[in-house]
Structure 1
């Protein structure tokens, strides 16, 4: 199946000299995920996520913000398009004919087109069990750091029970509202003039971007939260996300507490799985992998899997994030590894200078996690080995 039916020729464009604040305002008002920057020709794409994930000056020009997602043709295969979206972390790909961009394809349109075929899977098959949560008092600044450090874009708010959820887009929308209030709109921290009218401003945080980072999660979160269960058919869960414009659903257990999260990215990833016997490994931000190769990463995962004959790895996903910090020329790399197996899902993170160190740390954590799932700790295994080497005598 190809993507021709879901290619759209209607998308928002901005000139290269458009200010970041203007694009940010458009995202908040329209709910769109991305825009195309065009001058004499196609320059690139700016996404909502870019404006939150980086420190962006409001006066910065669009031309300096653009990213360059992979381009696809009208007849590109659905699986390949989904793979490119997952690995590039762009859910909005330009469609080209020759050297010209003639349209776009979005993750939402792609999922709508294939959703009827997802009924063979359930939420349990694809959802992420490694759930990072915050409390109602966690600050916006801390949440942004959690997004950056863990390569996630949303966190549930928990206080005994599930209270809400905060996403990158909630923070973007909130910051735009506060900027507008700063220019005279109404808001929290209201005061009334002698005529009884509401004056502008928003209390003690007025005009103070640094103090905006101190705002608690409960002030920006969405509530109530849309939830699902592990046994819900994947097509039904995906349809709810698409129809209600949710980017994710919180997976709850029998006690009603959060046990994981399913996102549209998780669903896209499931489209890339194959029936082939070899291990399927995907790498996001593969350019950060040099001088290693994708085969090196697959070999790393296979080394762990081969030690445990009962475990079969169905799919593995590695997300790489490069920090600005360096040591002897090697950048600090965060490697987040997720493997989907017949024994459940395992998620680990490793951080080190250069991809080799980061992935080595992740591999060691992965091995420990698998051992723990079997009820055998590393210490127990080593003690058993030493006992055997000593001939069974203490």
Structure 2
């Protein structure tokens, strides 16, 4: 309902290419399910486009694996005969992938994409260019996150922290991110920053391995960064370093700044207190 109402407003007229994720993880039809599940876990995703010889031939989701393989074996309802002696993880992607794929053009509007999401009752759509090549993917989250930026009376920067880590110092993390964002206020304009932190079981020297993903929506474009580190401090440091490199690269490329005038990487003295 929220997406449908948004589609009718000014936000719905924007081009979806401003919100897509371009660093898409792909899989081939012959790859095994075990590799798909490993990618799902490693990259914290639930869907992957299936590409063969540069062409989009299908899509596979975690839901497909659960319903078409695992539950099908239990109920005996799948379209082909499952070999009881064969591991479910050994089946190729092409056996359970979905096709045709629901897609949208990179020049489509947000409204057009939302209409398809509602019509097909899906959570994400593959984005293709004018040559029918894979250009990226856009999900409900990609469209919902920047919505807060549509409010005129909101105070920037907008910072949202999503994590189930116990004893996470959210106030300090908020301060660190605010300082990072304000460094680029004049260049990037009003900014919305979303960060997700997940704690893994692995530990080293008493610190858990932390996976961090962030999305930064600005008037200058969208920046996405993923990183890991031992402890919250290192994970946040690494993800902000990646973000800063992306920002500097884009600024240098589009404004042709000399190397000696590129912005220096941020000083992480500001986040020492996260240790």
- Aligned-pair distance for 1:312? 2.8
Deviations 1:168-189 (A, max 9, x none): 11111112113333xxx6753x
- Asked if the contact 2:156–2:192 (Cα under 8 Å) also holds between the matched residues in 1, the reply is no
1:223 is aligned to 2:99? yes
Once superposed, what is the RMSD of the aligned Cα atoms? 2.8
- Asked if the contact 1:151–1:321 (Cα under 8 Å) also holds between the matched residues in 2, the reply is no
Matched residue, 1:137 = 30
Distance 2:2 2:59 in 1: 25
Matched residue, 2:226 = 349
* Higher Cα radius of gyration: 1
1:158 is aligned to 2:51? yes
Matched residue, 1:176 = 71
Relative to the length of structure 2, the TM-score reads 0.80
- Aligned-pair distance for 1:256? 1.7
- Aligned-pair distance for 1:375? 4.1
Relative to the length of structure 1, the TM-score reads 0.58
Distance 1:186 1:242 in 2: 26
Deviations 1:189-244 (A, max 9, x none): xxxxxxxxxxxx523xx244xx2112222122111111112332212211211111
Deviations 1:246-285 (A, max 9, x none): 2211111232211111112222223333433411122222
The DSSP-based 3-state class of the residue aligned with 1:213 is: helix
- Asked if the contact 2:16–2:108 (Cα under 8 Å) also holds between the matched residues in 1, the reply is yes
Of 105, 115, 134 in structure 2, the residue corresponding to residue 239 of structure 1 is 115
- Aligned-pair distance for 1:134? 1.6
Matched residue, 1:332 = 209
Matched residue, 2:16 = 123
Distance 2:43 2:124 in 1: 17
Residue correspondence of structure 1 range 232-381 to structure 2 within 5 A: 232-273=108-149, 274-275=151-152, 276-285=154-163, 287-288=164-165, 290-297=167-174, 299-300=176-177, 302-303=179-180, 306=183, 309-312=186-189, 314-375=191-252, 381=259
Cα–Cα, structure 1 residues 173 and 241, in superposed 2: closer, same or farther, change >3 Å? same
Unaligned runs of 5+ in 2: 264-275
Unaligned runs of 5+ in 1: 1-108, 189-200, 386-394
- Asked if the contact 1:337–1:347 (Cα under 8 Å) also holds between the matched residues in 2, the reply is yes
- Aligned-pair distance for 1:165? 1.0
Deviations 1:293-319 (A, max 9, x none): 255246336426615842235322212
- Asked if the contact 1:289–1:355 (Cα under 8 Å) also holds between the matched residues in 2, the reply is no
What is the total number of aligned residue pairs between the two structures? Answer: 254
Matched residue, 2:82 = 202
Distance 1:369 1:347 in 2: 9
